[in-house]
């Protein structure tokens, strides 16, 4: 018998089909892309070490999909209202919480993120935690870039990262600090 039972929804987005895993209370547990479904299973098994995780097709919507659709339609702040829960280590959860504090349309470096959580020497550990983030887009790991302002790794691919940043910047025009220039260009 699995220790964790999650429901899996599939949502068509401008970037391809998104996989949305929620618990039985509708709390978001994981997000990934259809072409990375195997990674979704790996990340969940790492999050809940020692426990069995089972994904079951959702028979009814969780309420997460309409919020993500709103994000893709231009309401980029919609995802900030989603409740999320993760496994992982205390350090990982600290990094993931800090990711949600990066405003839409903005980017920061791994070093800046490490400093924000009070561990400025933990840049590589922050990078590893960022890469292990099970709730991409909603926990916006795509907003973290290299110290030289280059677009660096994103689990969904750099084209998706570029698109997400461009999308957020498009909808934050007029917001203080906005720039049309994407990092790395």
- Among all residues, which ones are annotated catalytic? 141
Which of 91, 100, 104, 86 lies closest to 28, judged by CA?
Answer: 86
Please enumerate in sequence order all residues whose Cβ is within 8 A of that of 67, keeping only pairs 6 or more positions apart, or say none.
78, 79, 81, 82
Q: Residues 132, 108, 101, CA angle at the centre, nearest 5°?
A: 70
């Amino acid at each position: 018998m699995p220790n964790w039972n999650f429901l899996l929804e599939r949502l068509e987005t401008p970037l391809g089909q998104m996989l949305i895993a929620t618990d039985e209370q509708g709390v978001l547990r994981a997000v990934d892309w259809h072409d990375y479904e195997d990674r979704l299973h790996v990340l969940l098994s790492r999050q809940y070490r020692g426990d069995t995780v089972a994904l079951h097709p959702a028979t009814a919507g969780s309420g997460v999909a309409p919020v993500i659709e709103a994000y893709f339609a231009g309401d980029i702040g919609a995802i900030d209202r989603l409740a999320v829960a993760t496994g992982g280590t205390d350090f990982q959860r600290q990094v993931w919480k800090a990711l949600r504090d990066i405003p839409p349309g903005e980017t920061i470096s791994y070093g800046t993120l490490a400093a924000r959580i009070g561990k400025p020497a933990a840049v590589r550990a922050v990078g590893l935690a960022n890469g292990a983030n099970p709730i991409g887009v909603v926990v916006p790991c795509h907003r973290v870039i290299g110290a030289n302002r280059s677009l660096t790794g994103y689990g969904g691919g750099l084209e998706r990262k570029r698109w997400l940043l461009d999308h957020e910047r498009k909808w934050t025009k007029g917001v203080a600090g906005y720039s049309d220039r994407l990092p790395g260009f």
